[in-house]
Amino acid sequence: MVNEKDNSQFSSHNSALRKGFQQTEVGIIPENWKVEPLSKIALFENGKAHEQFIDEQGDFVVVNSKFISTEGRVKKPSIKNFRNGRISTKNYWVSNTIQIGFNNEKKAISRGMYKIRFIKQANKITEDNIPMLQILDSIRFIKDIPDTDQNQSCNRFIAIVKELSPERLNKLKKLVLKYNASTRALTGAIIDMLENDNNTQTIFESLNPATSYNFSISERTLPTKDKWRIK
């Protein structure tokens, strides 16, 4: 870090470079420094906005662009939760694996730090189907959703399904029949909880009566879990 009184050496408006400094594409830096992409010198993850996860009792400093001016000076942060010179937060990571539904088999590929997996989709992928397929794919991979537990995820799915129009809900019931058994069971239990009638009978009859399905979901979250043999 450079003292404010020395910041003139970083100004792009200087007509001549001071001894010991060099001009680069990112500005003027000490001559014994070099410019490298961040990905070449460090491992990092792209994250979501952190403000809502600020924890005053945390131990980690969050540094963002609000700290630095274009002249290299350190700026006073504008975030309110500033305690003893430290800003603290919980980390909230975004997965570096991207999953894409595909009707045919396709091998995973890598693009930079991201791995792209192609998930075989038995249903025909159409513009009209995509919103329901997204819901069903999320339910299918409920155990892999980061930074939450299955009860919280299930509550979110319940809220999403509850908002579907009758037409879309009927389409969801048809599309789920081509998913694996555990996805059919969990989706059926969610719909059954909301409708409380026999409209899920086709889904229920598609399941093996001797099979149970393991999810870490409480009866309080999903009162229909026992009927659908969710353990």
152-203 pLDDT, tens digit each: 999 999 999 999 999 999 999 999 999 999 999 999 999 999 986 668 999 9
SS3 92: coil
Handedness of CA 32, 38, 44, 48 (dihedral sign): positive
% of the chain residues with pLDDT over 70:
66
Per the DSSP assignment, residues forming a β-bridge with 47 are: 93
Residues 106 and 86 in one domain: no
Tell me the pTM. Answer: 0.57
Residues 135 and 219 in one domain: yes
Residues in the chain: 231
Residues 166 and 198 in one domain: yes
Residues 69 and 84 in one domain: yes
Domain assignment of residue 82, given as a range: 45-94
For the chain, the domain total comes to: 4
> How far are the Cα atoms of 173, 187, 198, 207 from residue 161, in angstroms, in the given order?
11, 9, 17, 21
Residues 90 and 102 in one domain: no
Pairwise CA distance, residues 48 & 28, whole Å: 31
Pairwise CA distance, residues 118 & 106, whole Å: 6
